[in-house]
């Protein structure tokens, strides 16, 4: 009898898992279930093309025919209401049901909500294609746009909006932009680029109140200053979209907790991607979601695989300034670093006990694959004292 696998969530983790399961089992049935009306699409495109005419067709993760070719049953615009772990059955909101040999929860995450006194119409977050559709009217009309959050998504949107001749203000509660990915010197490079594109930065600042009769017209900060804004977009982190099924007691904290096989506490039920919490962490990164999905897929079909957490990697190309960040970025977590910088570039490699543990590059990132491999392989550099950045790169390039 053919086995049947069900995946809840059709983001990158769900699609990756479906693809791997098909590679491992050519005869099984695979059901990929998503709550949105759209076929699986690339969420990362939304912030990069916020003023473009993005739709289901030009943001797809896979071509429409791929699902037929791979014999993957794609179910859109349906919510899973309940799971029966004893009979291994999933119940959909239309009262239909599917049995499973393996179930993967890949329901992703939602953007964290912005809760501010006086919140008005014209306040948006961009996580789903529908969010972007709902924000289109405000995006077209707005002249002064506040972005709350100076992380990757906030910066990508600020760059696109500034190119669209919008006046943009970024509010970030930390003292520098991208605090999880950049040291203070690297962040300064991004800050300078923002200012050169007339983007106003309010760092170490938070929003106090939003004003307007109906539509937002202005806001005040914790410093007491007031600014005009006719639209607000917030990107202040993510929160795992943990499903709550009445007949299944999943072990959860911030997300659905998993072991190194991506298994939950329930037999034959796995989790991967932004909803999965491994060793107390949810990273919300593309490469990690894909790796978790691959491990889950292997174990679902009975091919044992252990999760070896990849080092978090961040890349960005806003403001015509390529950026690469990986691993440890705080000087306090290392005992040695190698730095090279000029007017247009900044590079830093961090080491601990002579092992390369992190790197930041801004301006020229063509060597990022070399640095990525060195960090992943835990490359040891003996006699690293007084070695220049270029010399260290050469050593890494020459090593196997």
Distance CA 311, CA 295 (A): 16
According to the model, what pLDDT value does residue 304 have? 96
DSSP β-ladder status, 218-221 and 207-211: antiparallel
- According to DSSP, the residues that pair with 200 across neighbouring strands are 169
Question: What share of the chain has pLDDT > 90, as a percent?
Answer: 88
- What 3-state class would DSSP assign to 235? coil
pTM of the model: 0.93
According to the model, what pLDDT value does residue 383 have? 74
233 near 157, Cβ under 8 Å? Answer: yes
- What 3-state class would DSSP assign to 55? coil
Residues 6+ apart with CB under 8 A from 51: 139, 160, 161, 163, 164
> 322-342, pLDDT tens digit by residue?
999 999 998 889 999 999 988
Residues 6+ apart with CB under 8 A from 56: 38, 39, 41, 129
Distance CA 341, CA 272 (A): 39
- According to DSSP, the residues that pair with 351 across neighbouring strands are 336, 356
343 DSSP 8-state letter: S
Write out the two tokens for 89.
């059955």
How far from 232 is each of 111, 121, 171, 210, 247, CA to CA, in Å? 14, 9, 11, 9, 40
Side-chain half-sphere CA neighbours of 316 within 13 A: 28
117 DSSP 8-state letter: B
Give 260's pLDDT tier (boundaries 50, 70, 90): very high
- The sheet with strand 336-341 has its strands ordered as 313-316, 323-327, 355-362, 346-352, 336-341
Give 400's pLDDT tier (boundaries 50, 70, 90): low
**Phi-psi category of 36—alpha, beta or left, where left has phi over 0 and alpha has psi -120 to 50?**
beta
Q: What is the mean pLDDT of residues 377-384?
A: 85
Residue 279 has pLDDT above 90, yes or no: yes
303 near 282, Cβ under 8 Å? Answer: no
> 62-94, pLDDT tens digit by residue?
999 999 999 999 999 999 999 999 999 999 999
Question: What share of the chain has pLDDT > 70, as a percent?
Answer: 99
Residue 231 has pLDDT above 90, yes or no: yes
Residue 386 has pLDDT above 80, yes or no: no
> 86-109, pLDDT tens digit by residue?
999 999 999 999 999 999 999 999
Q: What is the mean pLDDT of residues 226-245?
A: 95
Residue 310 has pLDDT above 80, yes or no: yes
> 100-134, pLDDT tens digit by residue?
999 999 999 999 999 887 777 899 999 999 999 99
């Amino acid at each position: 009898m053919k086995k049947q696998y069900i995946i809840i969530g059709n983001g990158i983790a769900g699609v990756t898992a479906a693809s791997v399961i098909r590679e491992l089992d050519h005869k099984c049935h695979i059901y990929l279930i998503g709550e949105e009306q759209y076929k699986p699409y690339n969420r990362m495109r939304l912030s990069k093309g916020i003023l473009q005419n993005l739709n289901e067709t030009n943001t797809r993760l896979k071509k429409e025919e791929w699902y037929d070719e791979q014999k993957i049953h794609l179910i859109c615009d349906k919510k899973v209401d309940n799971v029966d772990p004893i009979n291994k059955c999933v119940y959909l909101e239309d009262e239909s049901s599917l049995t499973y040999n393996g179930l993967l929860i890949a329901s992703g995450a939602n953007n964290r909500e912005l809760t501010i006194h006086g919140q008005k119409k014209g306040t948006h977050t961009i996580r789903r294609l529908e969010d972007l559709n709902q924000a289109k009217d405000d995006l077209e009309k707005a002249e002064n746009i506040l972005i709350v959050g100076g992380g990757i998504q906030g910066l990508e949107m600020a760059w696109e909006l500034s190119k669209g001749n919008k006046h943009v203000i970024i509010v970030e509660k930390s003292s520098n932009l991208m605090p999880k990915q950049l040291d203070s010197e690297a962040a300064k490079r991004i800050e300078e680029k923002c200012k050169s594109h007339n983007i106003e930065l309010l760092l170490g600042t938070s929003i106090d109140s939003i004003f307007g009769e109906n539509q937002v017209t202005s806001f005040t900060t914790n410093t007491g200053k007031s600014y005009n804004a006719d639209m607000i977009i917030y990107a202040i982190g993510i929160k795992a979209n943990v499903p709550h099924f009445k007949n299944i007691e999943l072990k959860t904290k911030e997300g659905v907790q998993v072991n190194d096989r991506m298994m939950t506490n329930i037999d034959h039920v796995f989790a991967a991607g932004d909803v999965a919490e491994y060793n107390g962490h949810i990273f919300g990164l593309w490469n990690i979601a894909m790796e978790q999905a691959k491990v889950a897929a292997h174990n679902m079909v009975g091919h044992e695989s252990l999760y070896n957490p990849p080092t978090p990697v961040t890349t960005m190309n806003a403001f015509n300034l390529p950026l690469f960040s990986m691993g440890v970025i705080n000087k306090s977590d290392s005992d040695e670093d190698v730095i090279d910088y000029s007017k247009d570039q900044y590079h830093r490699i961090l080491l601990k006990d002579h092992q390369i543990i992190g790197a930041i590059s801004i301006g020229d990132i063509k060597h990022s694959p070399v640095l990525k491999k060195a960090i992943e392989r835990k490359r040891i550099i003996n006699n690293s004292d007084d070695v220049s950045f270029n010399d260290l790169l050469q050593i890494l390039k020459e090593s196997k």
